[in-house]
Amino acid sequence: MSTENEGNAVPPAPSAPPVPVETPAASAQGASHTGSEPTAPIPAVPSAPGAPEHASAPAGMPAYASAGAGQGPDPYGQGAGAQGSAPEAGWPPPPPATPSYADGGGSGAGGWGSSYQQPAPKPKNGRGGLVAAILVAALVAGGVGGGLGYSLAKNNDDSTDSTTVSAPSSSGEVKRASGTVANVAAQALPSTVTIEAQSSNGEGGTGTGFVFDKQGHILTNNHVVAEAVDGGKLTATFSSGKKYDAEVVGHAQGYDVAVIKLKNAPSDLKPLQLGDSDKVAVGDSTIAIGAPFGLSNTVTTGIISAKNRPVASSDGSTGSKASYMSALQTDASINPGNSGGPLLDASGAVIGINSAIQSSSSGGLGGSGQSGSIGLGFAIPVNQAKYVAQQLIKTGKPVYAKIGASVSLNEGTGGAEITEQGASGSAAVESGGPAAQAGLKPGDVITKLDDMVIDSGPTLIGAIWTHKPGDTVKLTFTRDGKTHTADVTLASREGDS
C-alpha cells in the first residue's frame, strides 16, 4: 500500500450567499437557482497556510500527510536494478490537493443574488377591495395573537417554577482529570509547533513538529522540510504565537524523518515525553496534533487500527522517491498539514510521527481537490524515529540497516524475491555482505523476517529499517520449492544517496 504526503494551502472560505428572493413572476416560471457547493503502493522493499502535498495519487495509494517538496525519481538504496526491481534498501518510485469550491455565481429569475422586483399593480375593482379587506383583517388578528403570545411568555418568565441551576461563581476553573483528551491536549500543545518551509525560489508549505529536547531540536517529517534543505527558510510557531527561525540539522528521506533546530531557542522548552511504540496494542486510544490545511493546533482522536502496516509513501510528484515504514495505523483524523506532528497515547506520550494518509480516487468533494482524511492514517513508530533523530543530531546523516541484496519491488511475488541483477549492473547479492554470508542467492524469495510475514520487497525494506545495523534477524526463504532459514547480521549504509 502506498500513501501520499499531506499538507496544502488552505482554500478561502466560501462566503455565505444572500438568501434568494423569488418574484411572483419568477415563481410562476419555475426559475432555478445556481448554488455554490464545495467541490507523504504498499512498500516493495524495505505535511503559507498550506502543506507540501502535491499531485493526486491514484486510487488506493496513500500520500504524505503534509505537503512537502518533490523528490527525485531514482530507486533508493544501493542502486537500482531492472525496472520493477530495486536494491535491498531500494526505493520504488511509488507512485491529494486542497478541496476547491464550485463557482458560486448564478443568474436568472430568482437566482442567488437576483434583485427583487415589485409585481405590476393590478386594476382596482370590487374583488380587489375584498381581498385587501381580508388581508387587513388577517394582519389585525395576527397582531392580537402576537400580543397575547408575548403577554403569556412574559408572565411565564416571571414565574418562580424554573428548575434551572447555575454554577456558583466561586466554583473556580474547571479541572480536567489526567488522561482525558482535554488534559493531554493542554499538556502537549505548548510543545507542538507549526512549521513553514520555503525554498530559495519561494515555494513551500506547512507541516508540524514537536519539541524533541531542551536544546531546541524539533522532530518532524523529511517531506515537511525538504523545500528548505538547500538554502531555504524555516520557521516554527508555537501555540502561544511565538515564532522562531530554524535550520535543518539532518534529514532522512528513506525514513521520512528530519530534525530541525530553533535559532535562539528559549530556555523553558518542554520536550514531549516519548512512549514505547513496541508496546502499543490495537485498540489503544490515540490523539493527533497538527495543522491540517494550515489550521494550527488542531486536536483529533481515534484508536490504533493496526500495527506493522507496510507503507511506501510519496508526495505524488513526478520522480519523487518513496519512504518506507512499518507503520502504526490510526483512524484519528489526519489531513494535509498534520505531517510531522505527534501521535500520542492516552497518557500523552508520543508513540508515533504522523506521516501519511490513504487517499481516495476522487481526491475530495467534487472530485477535483486534494483528498483528506478517510480514517486511514499512518505514523512512523517513535522507537524508530527516536533512533533516526539521534543519528541525525550526532552526524547529520541517516544510517540504514541492510542485508546486502537487491529485491523486486513488484507485487504478487509471494515475498521479497532477490533479483537476478542489482543496481547499475552490479551483483544482486553483495559480495561478502550479510545475505551472501547467509547463503542467499538470486531467485530466493524471502517470506519472513523473524516472525513477521514478508509479502513483497517494500515490506521487507520497511521491516529491515525497524532494526539497527548489527542486529541479527532470522530470514525464512524459499528456493526450488523448499523452505530454508538463515540468521543474518545486518550491515549498515550511511546517507540517502
Cite the active site residues. 223, 256, 339
CA distances in angstroms from 469 to 43, 84, 403, 463, 472, listed in the order given: 21, 26, 10, 13, 9
| C-alpha closest to that of 300 among 339, 256, 344, 270 | 344
| 8 A C-beta contact, residue 324 and residue 43 | yes
What's 349's DSSP letter?
A: -
Q: Rounded distance, CA 483 to CA 488, Å?
A: 16
Written as nine digits, the cell of 232 is 531555504
DSSP letters of 114-172?
PPP-PPPPPPP-HHHHHHHHHHHHHHHHHHHHHHHHHHHHHHHHT-S-----PPPGGG-
Task: Name the residue with cell 482522536.
Answer: 301
| C-alpha closest to that of 222 among 398, 374, 344, 45 | 398
**H helices present in 67-125, as ranges:** none
Residue 301: burial class (beta carbons within 10 Å; 0-12, 13-18, 19+): middle
CA distances in angstroms from 311 to 176, 219, 256, 301, 326, listed in the order given: 37, 20, 12, 22, 6
Strands (E), 322-372: 323-330, 342-344, 350-358
SS3 391: helix
Task: Name the residue with cell 547529520.
Answer: 396
